C-alpha cells in the first residue's frame, strides 16, 4: 500500500530521480510549482493525470492529494508558496500545466537552490509573480472518468493504442450504447471520443520519447498510421517535433 503523507510546509528543493521512480500519494499545506529541467513528470490526482517536460511547469494547489511518476532520468525543482493571500494562478482546485519561457525557467531553478538569503527569495518571488500573470495554460492532461462504462472504455483504449477502435465497437465492449458513450465523453471530459483518443496517444508518446524510444517506434506504439502523421499531430500539440522533444527532455538546461 502506498504511504500517505501530509507535509506541513511545501518543500522548496532540487532533486534528481531515475526513470520509473515515484513519490507516493501526499499533499501540501501550501501551493507548489514544480519544474522538470530534464526528463518527464506525470502528476496524478483523483481528477486525472497531468504531464510536463522542460518547457512546462506544474502548479499544484494546496491540499490536493497527488502522486508523482518520473519518466527518463529526471531533475526537478520545487518551489512552495503560502496558501494564504493571492495565489499565483487562478484557483481551479486542480493542477495546471503552464508554459515556461527562458526567464521563468531560470527563476525556478535559482529559487529552488538551497539556503538563499531572504532578500533574494523575496526578489525572485516578486519577479515570478509578475511573470506568471502572463503565462498560458497548456492542458497536457488526461481526465479521470467517473462513470464505470467510460472508465472501462478508456482503459481498453489506453491498454492497446495500436488497435483502432470505433466508438460503436468500444461501446459494445463496455455494454452500452454508442450514443450513451459519446455523451459520456462530452459530459465528463468536454471532448469527443476522437479528441480524447488523440490526447491519450500524445500523453503516452511523451512518456515513450522521454524513456528513449525512437520517433517511428513511438508513432506505431501509439496508433498512428504513419510517422509523418504522428510528427504533424505532435508538433501541433507540443510546439516542437517529436525528435526535438525527445532531445530536450533528456538534456537539462541547468547541467
- Does residue 3 have a pLDDT over 50? no
CA 88 from centre of chain: 19
Band of residue 37 on the pLDDT scale cut at 50, 70, 90:
confident
- Does residue 171 have a pLDDT over 90? yes
Distance CA 195, CA 216 (A): 22
CA distances in angstroms from 81 to 10, 11, 30, 96, 196, listed in the order given:
7, 9, 6, 15, 33
The whole-number average pLDDT for the span 6-24 is 74
pTM for the model: 0.78
Task: Render pLDDT for 59-113 as a digit per residue (tens, 0 to 9).
Answer: 898 899 999 999 888 888 998 888 886 666 767 778 888 888 888 889 999 988 8
Distance CA 149, CA 170 (A): 10
Task: Render pLDDT for 193-240 as a digit per residue (tens, 0 to 9).
Answer: 999 999 999 999 999 998 889 999 999 999 999 999 999 999 988 878
Amino acid at each position: 500500500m502506498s504511504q500517505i503523507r501530509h507535509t506541513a510546509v511545501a518543500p522548496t528543493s532540487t532533486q534528481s530521480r531515475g526513470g520509473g521512480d515515484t513519490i507516493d500519494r501526499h499533499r501540501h499545506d501550501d501551493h507548489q510549482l514544480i519544474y522538470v529541467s530534464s526528463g518527464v513528470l506525470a502528476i496524478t490526482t483523483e481528477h486525472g493525470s497531468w504531464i510536463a517536460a522542460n518547457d512546462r511547469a506544474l502548479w499544484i494547489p494546496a491540499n490536493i492529494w497527488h502522486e508523482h511518476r518520473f519518466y527518463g532520468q529526471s531533475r526537478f525543482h520545487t518551489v512552495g508558496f503560502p496558501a494564504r493571500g493571492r495565489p499565483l494562478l487562478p484557483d481551479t482546485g486542480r493542477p495546471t500545466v503552464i508554459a515556461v519561457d527562458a526567464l521563468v525557467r531560470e527563476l525556478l531553478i535559482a529559487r529552488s537552490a538551497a539556503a538563499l538569503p531572504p532578500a533574494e527569495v523575496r526578489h525572485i518571488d516578486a519577479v515570478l509573480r509578475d511573470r506568471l500573470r502572463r503565462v498560458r495554460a497548456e492542458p497536457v492532461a488526461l481526465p479521470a472518468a467517473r462513470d464505470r462504462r467510460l472508465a472501462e472504455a478508456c482503459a481498453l483504449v489506453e491498454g492497446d493504442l495500436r488497435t483502432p477502435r470505433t466508438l460503436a465497437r468500444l461501446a459494445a465492449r463496455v455494454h452500452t450504447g454508442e450514443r450513451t458513450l459519446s455523451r459520456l465523453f462530452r459530459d465528463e471530459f468536454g471532448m469527443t471520443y476522437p479528441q480524447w483518443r488523440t490526447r491519450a496517444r500524445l500523453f503516452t508518446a511523451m512518456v515513450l520519447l522521454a524513456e528513449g524510444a525512437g520517433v517511428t517506434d513511438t508513432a506505431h506504439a501509439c496508433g498512428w498510421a504513419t510517422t509523418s502523421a504522428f510528427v504533424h499531430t505532435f508538433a501541433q500539440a507540443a510546439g516542437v517535433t517529436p525528435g526535438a522533444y525527445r532531445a530536450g527532455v533528456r538534456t537539462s538546461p541547468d547541467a
